[in-house]
Amino acid sequence: MTKVLMKGNEAVGAAAIAAGCRYFFGYPITPQNEIPEYMSRELPKVGGVFVQAESELAAINMVYGASGSGARVMTSSSSPGIALKQEGISYCAGAELPCVIVDMMRGGPGLGSIQPAQSDYFISTRGGGNGDYRLLVLAPANVQELVDLVMEGFDLADEYRTPVIILGDGMIGQMMEPVEFKHESKSNLPEKAWATTGTKGQRPGNVINSLYLQAEKLEQHNIKLQAKFAKMQENEKRVETYNIEDADIVVTAYGTTARIAKTAITKLEKEGYKVGLIRPISLYPFPNEAYEKINPACKGVLTVEMSSGQMLDDVKLSLNGKMPTYFYGRTGGMVPGPDEIVDKVKEILGGGK
């Protein structure tokens, strides 16, 4: 298949359609508007349905209805809109409804900015809404990976009966890169016998629900959900590592920031520094084992984020006090440059090689 040059946001739409998604419910918000625009243009051509909802609240609840009806369905938004969707995301998690939710993060808190940020790490990886739940959270670092993760995300959503968050940022949504659509959907996915399709008089009614008024039953439900999250922990960790067995310092970053960190590492290597990289691709489950493989003589791990330090918590939990941790972050839509990371690494290493 030949590669086509696509903007990240449009590639999300194309990947979703290629993965069999035929339903999209969304609400405009910068910097992700090309996703609903693309879906409104392309879904009717393949017999799909696009609905511009009256709010993000409505959009995620339309996703709840469509997913509960057995469809492959997606919504997208950016940080303030994702905050609004948290109610519905919690209900989807509780009712075990598969769906893909794309967050092209922008600066916050509040209305914040429209420039790239990574400050939705906490609400994505910690659940975000009420109750004990986790979501699969995947963080692409380039447009091809964005395509791959959106396509695979639909399979993972169906396999685990869970919402999947694709955590990008304004930068990855807006950049253009050549992509191809090569992921092949899993053929052994479970049938959706639980979906509401009408009983046809052949079975008792199916119920899509997150309410359990008896405490014992809700606890049993939570135990079942936790077992599912444990299975995700076991099977779905994704990470890219570079030179961590031989590094004097390891930089860890995800998404756009990881790309910038790679440029910084190349520069530092030219100056003779031994710098490793850990790039988590799955943020939940967090690839903690990668941090255990770091050279024990390593002087520390520098986390770089477009936030005030959110993934940093997971890095610290993974290292469990084994080595010092450092942090460099920019916020509000400011993007760190490679030289800022180079300077921070040199500062940590005391200027010595």
Partner 1 sequence: MAIVFEKTRGLTDKETHYCPGCTHGVIHRLVAEAMEELGVLDNAIGVAPVGCSVLAYEYFNCDMHEAAHGRAPAVATGIKRVHPDNFVFTYQGDGDLASIGTAEIVHAAHRGERFSTVFVNNAIYGMTGGQMAPTTLVGQKATTAPYGRDEGTQGRPIRISEMLATIDGAAFVERVSVDSPANIRKAKKAIKECFKVQLEGKGFGIVEVLSTCPTNWGFTPVESLKWLKDNMIPYYPLGNFKKPEEVE
Point out which residues bind partner 1 (CB under 8 A): 23, 25, 49, 51, 53-55, 57-59, 61-71, 73, 87-88, 91, 95, 196-201, 205-211, 213
DSSP 109: S
| Burial (0-12, 13-18, 19+ Cβ within 10 Å), 198 | exposed
Separation between Cα atoms, residue 353 and residue 351, nearest integer Å: 7
Q: Is the dihedral of CA 315, 321, 322, 323 positive or negative?
A: positive
Q: Rounded to an integer, what distance in angstroms lies between the CA atom of residue 230 and that of residue 237?
A: 11
3-state SS track over 161-182: CCEEEEEEEHHHHHCEEEECCC
Q: C-alpha angle 184/192/137, rounded to 5°?
A: 55
Please say which residue, 45 or 200, places its beta carbon nearer to partner 1.
200
Quote the least distance from Cβ 173 to partner 1, whole Å: 25
CB 45 to partner 1: min, Å: 17
- Write down the least CB distance from residue 29 to partner 1, Å: 16
φ and ψ of 97, to 5 deg: -105, 125
Q: How far is the CB of 32 from partner 1 (least distance, A)?
A: 20
Nearest to partner 1 of 196, 243 (CB atom):
196
C-beta of 64 vs 326, nearer to partner 1: 64
CB of 112 to partner 1, least distance (A): 23
Of 40 and 210, the one with the shorter C-beta distance to partner 1 is 210
d(CA 216, CA 34): 45
Give CA–CA dist 251/230, Å, rounded: 27
Residue placing its CB nearer to partner 1 in the complex, 200 or 270: 200
Q: How far is the CB of 91 from partner 1 (least distance, A)?
A: 5
Question: Which one, 71 or 139, has the nearer CB to partner 1?
Answer: 71
